[in-house]
Amino acid sequence: MKKSCFLLSFVFLICFSNLTVQAQKSEAFTHKVKEEDVAATLKYLSSDELEGRETGTAGIEKAAVFLELFLKNNNIKPYFASYRDTLSNFDAPAYNIVGYLEGTDPKLKKEFIVLSAHYDHIGLEKNKQGDIINNGANDDASGVTAVAEMAKYFSKTKSNKRSILFAFFAGEEKGLLGSQSLVQKLKAKNFNLYAQLNIEMIGVPMKRDYLAYITGFDKSNMAGKINEYTGKKTIGFLPKEAEYELFYRSDNFSFYDVFKKPCQSISTFDFENFEFYHHVSDDFKAMDIPHMTHFIQELLPAITQMATTPTEEITMTK
C-alpha cells in the first residue's frame, strides 16, 4: 500500500510539473507586444524634455529615472546595490541602468544572457538655430524600448531557465564607455556569460527578405540559431555590416573583448532606409511603431529558447 501511494504521488508530481511547464510555454508564446506600450516608451525617451540624452547631462538623468522605475514596476531586481552602475571611466556622474531576472532552473540560472541597448545619445547641437535637439529615437531609444519590452515579457512569463541581465548603457556615444566599465565589474564577479544580444537602431524596417541583420555574422552561429528558433528567416547577412566592421562599433564588442563569448548586435538600420543618423530629425515621428512591435514579437521566441535550452547551443565559430 505504501509503495502504491508513493508511486501515485510520484506520477502526480510528474504530471503537475509537465502541466506547469506547458502552462509557462503557452503563456510565453501567446504574449502579445502592444503597439501602444512600444510607442509610449519610445516617445518619452526621444522627447524634447530629455534634450538628446547626452551622457552626464540633466536629460539623460531623466531617462535613467524612467528606466529605473520601469524595471522596478516590472519586478526586475537591481543587479548591484541599486539599478545604477556608476561609470568608472567618465569624469561627470554617469550611470548604466542594470537589472536582472533570476533563472528558474537551479543549474542553468548560474548562466547569464545579457540583453542590452544604449540609452545615451549626442545631446544638443552647438551654434545652430531652429531644432537643436538630437532626440535619438532610432539611435538608440528604439533598442532601449525593445529591451524594456523583453524585460516585461520575461517578468510576466517567468520563461527563462537561465538568468537574464538587462543593461542600458550610458557613454556609448563617447566610445562604448558604459559597456567597457560594466564588463570589468562583471569579470571581477566571475560573471558566467552565455551570450549577449545587443539591440541597436531598430526603428525602421529594411526592404529585404529578412527582418534584421546581426553584426559579426560569421563569428558565431547565433544568426542561424535565431532563425531556427523563430522558424523564419529573421536574421540575414548585410554586406555593409562586414564592410564597416560594425561588430567592433557597438556595446557588444566590449563584452566579446572580455568574455570571448557570442556577443552581437541586431539592427534594422541598413544605410539605405534612414537618412537621419546623428541628426535632429531622428525623432519619434520618423519611427515605424508597427515594425518595432513586430520586431520585438518575432525575437521573443528566439530569446526564450536561448534562455531555456539545456545546453549552450550558441557557440563561437571563429
pLDDT in tens, 227-247: 999 999 999 999 999 999 999
- Residue 141 in contact with residue 66, Cβ under 8 Å? no
From CA 165, how far away is CA 98, in angstroms rounded? 7
At residue 128, the pLDDT reads: 75
At residue 24, the pLDDT reads: 42
193-199 and 212-214 strand pairing: unpaired
Dihedrals phi, psi of 124, to nearest 5 degrees? -100, 145
Q: What is the CATH number of domain 32-306?
A: 3.40.630.10
How do residues 105-154 score in pLDDT, each as one tens digit?
999 999 999 999 999 999 999 877 789 999 999 999 999 999 999 999 99
At residue 6, the pLDDT reads: 42
Tell me the sheet residues that pair with 188: none
Question: Which amino acid belongs to residue 118?
Answer: H
Alpha-carbon distances of 120 from 11, 148, 224, 271, rounded to whole Å: 53, 15, 30, 21
From CA 165, how far away is CA 160, in angstroms rounded? 11
At residue 203, the pLDDT reads: 98
At residue 127, the pLDDT reads: 75
Residues of the chain with pLDDT under 70: 1-29
> pTM of the predicted model, to two decimals?
0.91
Domain boundaries, the chain: 32-306
Residues 6+ apart with CB under 8 A from 230: 298, 299, 301, 302
